[in-house]
Amino acid sequence: MTTIRLTAAQAMVRFLSAQRVEIEGVKQRLFEGVFAIFGHGNVAGLGEALYAARESLPTYRAHNEQAMAHAAIAFAKASRRRRMMACTTSIGPGATNMVTAAAVAQVNRLPVLLIPGDVFANRRPDPVLQQVEDFGDGTVSANDCFKPVSRYFDRIARPEQIVPALNRAVAVLTDPAECGPVTLAFCQDVQTEAYDYPLSFFDERVHRRRRIAPDPREVEEAAALLKQAKKPFVICGGGVLYSDAERELIDFCAKRGVPVAETQAGKSATPADHPLAMGAVGVTGTGAANGLAAQADVILGVGTRFADFITGSWALFKNPDRRFIGVNVQPFDAVKHRASPVVGDARTALAALDSALGAWKAPRSWSDGAAKAKAEWEATAARYTAPTNALAPTDAEVLGALMRVGETSDVVVCAAGGLPGELHKLWRAGAPLGYHVEYGYSCMGYEIAGGIGVKMALPEREVVVVVGDGSYLMMNSEIATSVMLARKLIVVVLDNRGFGCINRLQQATGGAPFNNLLRDARHETLPAVDFVAHARALGAEAVKANSIAELEAAFKQARAADSTQVIVIDTDPIGSTDAGGFWWDVAVPAVSERKEVGAARSAYEHAQKLQRVGD
């Protein structure tokens, strides 16, 4: 056996550099590169190895460990999970900063390789700087925090351990069912130790999309359910985009006359102008989609995990005879809430279902009714997005302006607060992957960093980050990273002076306005945050828009620019789109001195009776 002597860090980097993926007949790097913030846990080992491989495996510097992992996750999502990135940090706070991002990837089933530095395997200098010690377990380090939010976790305590660990890691990262974050905690002394590795370990390996075919019996059972349906309804999840199955899905729905609605992850998979595309469904759904969902007798979920925002906390589907079919590559998701499972790739499963359905179609009255409901909803939505010339416009008015001056190829990026709800209801995506909202974990601070990852994956498309002042203040450092890497973003900051979304939720559950808007928080004075000056200080070009008309003009100028642009506009913290939507289960106190809470509790108990879980 031919071997080569390398440090464990050098061997890891060389292995990652040799991984390829074939996309439409073209081989590309599986790992686009490595985001790195160096410290004493990785600078000497991995840092040296990455420097030597900087051309074959580019290293990108960020300003915050959580943010760089968000960027890597967004890159994977915008790449339909077919390409990915790695992230490395020092031990201690650098590592634990990535735990939140790992949870984002785990909840959203997105691949990212996390390589935090770890303590000394030989334990000679214990405890080292930033080492977390467990009084009863000498094997514990801070990196154990990654275990519940990783699909695969390993601690590299000997140099030869990277051989099985890396093979297992890549197997998970490229598996359509098991896909998610992988953490390889890399002991810092082991990174620098040498070992004679088999040369074959570094052979180029080409990965191809695995399309899992469904079991014929599951297809037959699902087809039998659909053939009985008088009011069938399809819910399109993110798995449709990851499977490249958006064309197959809309063709299936058009051929069978079945209306289709989208989850947050699935949005942009169906054409916004198709008469059977009902838009968003659930808590932040359109009136058209939710009206149909309430009546549906068979709900076909394709690539969705039926989260509570989509099901209205399982109160949305009111037909007592309704049945569910779950098409998903992951059995864990396919069988949720007693759905009849069709375990398989979305494109492959849709083809099999189509074949099994023969000439079946939904009743014409159901299809025509869906098209009419869609037209009525679009007229309603247009009223919310139209400019009113109010001193402080609503989020909906801002989104209306961005759609009017946008192009079909634009990608909108968002994550948390009230904006994802308004976007889900109102945004009309022009093309697949044009809607990128992280709402599985709804992580504040994802927006700007995520925009960088999207731009790296889709460099030819304009990336528009829509973010509230709360999320902006929580994590804005990656504006500097976008400038440094020449990854242009258009960042639109909606300043409603606080956490407007949670303020509305607080009052909806009977609570007094408290600690959400700045004016309702404990303060001696209110900060006059100059977001324009701040963005300029980070290297971006920035302007303040004082009206919707000024916003549209500023956006046109931003599109023509070459570098990152920030547009700030003051917005109304109270107004939101009250049309459409559905109840969401947020527990209300059973006892309170506030009569408003008592009224909210009564309404809550009534709504709970509509939940239909497990029957």
User: How many angstroms separate the first and last alpha carbons of the chain?
Assistant: 60
Q: Region 213-240: what's the mean pLDDT?
A: 98
Q: What is the DSSP string of 81-116?
A: TSSEEEEEE-STHHHHTTHHHHHHHHHHT--EEEEE
CATH among 3.60.15.10, 3.40.50.300, 3.30.420.10, 3.40.50.1220 for 216-377 = 3.40.50.1220
Give per-residue pLDDT as tens, 273-322.
999 999 999 999 999 999 999 999 999 999 999 999 999 999 999 999 99
SS3 state at 183: strand
Assigned architecture for domain 386-570: 3-Layer(aba) Sandwich (3.40)
Angle formed by the axes of helices 364-385 and 419-426, nearest 10°: 130
Rounded Cα gap, residues 532 and 509, in angstroms: 35
**Position 73 pLDDT exceeds 90:** yes
User: In angstroms, rounded to a whole number, what is the distance separating the alpha carbons of residues 521 and 137?
Assistant: 42
CA torsion 26-343-300-610 (nearest 10°) is: -130
pLDDT classification of 464: cutoffs 50, 70, 90: very high
Structure tokens at 517: 């808007």
Q: What is the pLDDT of residues 114-172, one digit of tens each?
A: 999 999 999 999 999 999 999 999 999 999 999 999 999 999 999 999 999 999 999 99
Averaged pLDDT of the chain:
96
68-84: average pLDDT: 98
CA-CA distance, 599 to 219, in Å (whole number)? 47
Banded pLDDT at 613 (limits 50, 70, 90) = low
Q: Which residues pair with 234 in a beta bridge?
A: 260, 300
Which residue in 539, 476, 467 sits closest to 496, CA to CA? 467
Average pLDDT for residues 232-240, to the nearest whole number?
Answer: 98
pLDDT score of 365: 98
- DSSP letter assigned to residue 126: P
SS3 state of residue 204: coil
The pLDDT score that the predictor gives to residue 1 is 84
pTM for the predicted model, two decimal places: 0.97
DSSP secondary structure string for all residues of 413-449: EE-SSSHHHHHHHH---SSTT-EEE--SS--TTHHHH
Question: Average of pLDDT values for 326-341?
Answer: 95
Confidence of residue 612 (pLDDT cuts 50, 70, 90): confident
Asked if 403 contacts 385 with a C-beta cutoff of 8 angstroms, the reply is: yes
Element (H, E) at 382: helix 364-385
603-608 contact pairs (CB < 8 A, 24+): 604/509, 607/315, 607/583
pLDDT score recorded for residue 610: 87
What does residue 191 show for φ and ψ, rounded to 5 degrees? -55, -30
Fold observed for domain 3-207: Rossmann fold (3.40.50)
Cα separations (Å) of 198 from 164, 195, 267, 362?
A: 12, 10, 46, 59
Q: Write out the residue limits of the CATH 3.40.50.1220 domain(s) in the chain.
A: 216-377
Band (614; pLDDT cuts 50, 70, 90): low
Span 258-268, mean pLDDT? Answer: 98
What pLDDT, in 10s, does the model give residues 158-210? 999 999 999 999 999 999 999 999 999 999 999 999 999 999 999 999 999 99
Q: What is the pLDDT of residue 175?
A: 98
560: Cβ contacts below 8 Å, ≥ 6 apart: none
Q: Which H/E stretch holds residue 543?
A: strand 541-545
CA distance 517 to 528: 14
Q: Residue 354: which pLDDT band, with cuts at 50, 70 and 90?
A: very high
> What value does the mean pLDDT take over residues 36-45?
96
Specify the domain boundaries for CATH 3.40.50.970 within the chain. Answer: 3-207, 386-570
Q: Which amino acid is at 84?
A: M
What's the pLDDT score for residue 50? 98
CA dist., res. 179 & res. 194, Å (int):
31
Cα(215)–Cα(585) distance, integer angstroms = 35
Cβ-based neighbour number of residue 366 at 10 Å = 21
Q: What is the pLDDT of residues 83-119, one digit of tens each?
A: 999 999 999 999 999 999 999 999 999 999 999 999 9
Backbone angles phi, psi at 97, to 5 degrees: -60, -25
Mean of the pLDDT values across residues 220-224? 98
